[in-house]
A and B are shown apart, each in its own frame.
Chain A
């Protein structure tokens, strides 16, 4: 019987990507997947909340700020921190954040356009 010398293979962290522009969402999901993570996409904050309610294996939420719907990305980030404290948060926007304090503690911010390596590196650090 084979014994896996490394033990059971660790499950890949799951990253929920939230972005309202379909092509940008696809691209972001590809970047995350290419970095070696599981990804799931949501087109807005409400969808993201429903996904978070339906499963418990998500370790990182990677969200745009400016999105239509009842919440923007920053509100989503704070809601996630409130309801699912262990989930790590990465926020991105074409604008600098007027108030970095709007970001939940420990959250990361990247200004668009971001380099794919910035994102995968941040996810790796946050899930280490």
Chain B
């Protein structure tokens, strides 16, 4: 039987190593885990020592070691871990070290034996056993150097003057090797206990877990930064829509207004009339796009609430405007608005205009659109009803999505009207609902009193 104090041996093959560890009934799970990792990396247990072990950072060509030291420094659990390690093992020095193929840097340390290393401090990597662990990817545990045939003549213990040594590799979730969790002491120590190896494995995994969590947090922060840039882009988009597109439109409007005042032929008057209708339509489209950009792309609708808004005259005005645009359709109204409604009257007018316009567009031609509105102690309710072809159930759920248009009924427009209406309802803490039967299609807005 092998000497129970010999727990490692870098020059041996890993199969050899596993056998020895098994013989000693120690930390088999640790080793098999390490071997499993090598398999994941595509290297069998007998594979070469340095294959597939380089960190992703190294593969990308640059390792920011100072950042790694700082990352360990941000893990508040590390000092407690090192403290627990020293108390449990009776060892005087414990550390988390970042180990690359040419550097050994201490990231966190508990030093009761005046070994003299501070975070950021370095040892020549070739003088450390961690150098070998980086290659072998397995832990090294030495109870008593002088009695260990593999390590009694090893240069590292001689150089640093320790008798007991334990070092556990820290693997990131991508399988890359970060460094080691290690401890040393000038006196021998009883480390050949399963609970010691398990504790080191657990702590090493915890360190890796925290490092991964920090990386994820950094990624989220980057996403947040992206979001801020998107917000800036949105503001530019709104500015372009709002100003740069509207300005030339306003020019055309001004020009056509002047032309009309000039006194034109009847054909000229007719043409300018059409130009003005197009200008109005374009203006409405730009307004819808602006609302979409503000609402959907963040920011939301700004409401300018008036706690004493009187909605009857407002709705009468909206209906009047639509009636003149649809002279052949009838709109029947029924208002029972007894109380002022705390709302943004311009937005409610916009919502009503969208709903009534929608009903006029899609409803049966010869049957009036019915608009009813009421307000009481519970809140405000507006419903717009038209008859005609019902809306298919499959379509109902998508009506309030932006840019939604019923293909066969497609009229000019962006398909934003109902979306904007539902956003206005939402901004008021209310709801816009639709139900459609063979008898009628009804949109209902409800805004509760606050």
A residues whose Cβ falls under 8 Å from a Cβ of B: 21-24, 26-28, 30, 66, 94-95, 112-113
* A24 in contact with B251 given A30-B258, A30-B261 (CB within 8 Å): yes
Question: What CA separation (Å) do A117 and B242 show in the bound complex?
Answer: 25
Contacting residues of chain B (261-296) with chain A, CB-CB under 8 angstroms: 261
Q: How far is the CB of B143 from chain A (nearest CB, A)?
A: 74
User: Chain B interface mostly helix, strand, loop or mixed?
Assistant: helix
* A23 in contact with B252 given A30-B258, A30-B261 (CB within 8 Å): yes
Are A27 and B242 in contact, CB atoms less than 8 angstroms apart?
no
* A94 in contact with B250 given A27-B257, A27-B258, A30-B261 (CB within 8 Å): yes
In the complex, what residues of A have CB within 8 A of residue B254's CB?
Answer: 21, 23-24, 26-28
Contacting residues of chain B (42-73) with chain A, CB-CB under 8 angstroms: none
Which chain B residue has the least Cβ–Cβ distance from A19?
B254
Contacting residues of chain B (374-404) with chain A, CB-CB under 8 angstroms: none
* A94 in contact with B258 given A23-B251, A23-B252, A24-B251 (CB within 8 Å): no
Are B243 and A94 in contact, CB atoms less than 8 angstroms apart?
yes
Are B243 and A27 in contact, CB atoms less than 8 angstroms apart?
no
Q: How far is the CB of A101 from chain B (nearest CB, A)?
A: 16
In the complex, what residues of B have CB within 8 A of residue A21's CB?
Answer: 247-248, 250-251, 254
In the complex, what residues of A have CB within 8 A of residue B253's CB?
Answer: 113
Question: What CA separation (Å) do A27 and B261 show in the bound complex?
Answer: 10
Are B251 and A22 in contact, CB atoms less than 8 angstroms apart?
yes
In the complex, what residues of B have CB within 8 A of residue A30's CB?
Answer: 258, 261
Question: What CA separation (Å) do A21 and B257 show in the bound complex?
Answer: 15
Are B243 and A23 in contact, CB atoms less than 8 angstroms apart?
no
Identify 11 new A-B residue pairs, CB closer than 8 A, beyond the known A94-B246, A94-B247. Answer: A22-B251, A23-B251, A23-B252, A24-B250, A24-B251, A27-B254, A27-B258, A30-B258, A30-B261, A94-B250, A95-B243
Tell me if B255 is interfacial: C-beta within 8 Å of chain A. Answer: yes
Question: What CA separation (Å) do A105 and B103 show in the bound complex?
Answer: 70
Which chain A residue has the least Cβ–Cβ distance from B346?
A96
Q: Which of A22, A23, A26, A95 contacts B242 (CB 8 A)?
A: A95
Are A26 and B250 in contact, CB atoms less than 8 angstroms apart?
no
Contacting residues of chain B (217-269) with chain A, CB-CB under 8 angstroms: 242-243, 246-248, 250-255, 257-258, 261
* A113 in contact with B250 given A94-B243, A95-B242 (CB within 8 Å): yes
Question: What CA separation (Å) do A26 and B261 show in the bound complex?
Answer: 12
Q: How far is the CB of B64 from chain A (nearest CB, A)?
A: 44
Which chain B residue has the least Cβ–Cβ distance from A96?
B304
In the complex, what residues of A have CB within 8 A of residue B257's CB?
Answer: 27
In the complex, what residues of A have CB within 8 A of residue B252's CB?
Answer: 23
Question: What CA separation (Å) do A27 and B242 show in the bound complex?
Answer: 21
Question: What CA separation (Å) do A118 and B250 show in the bound complex?
Answer: 17
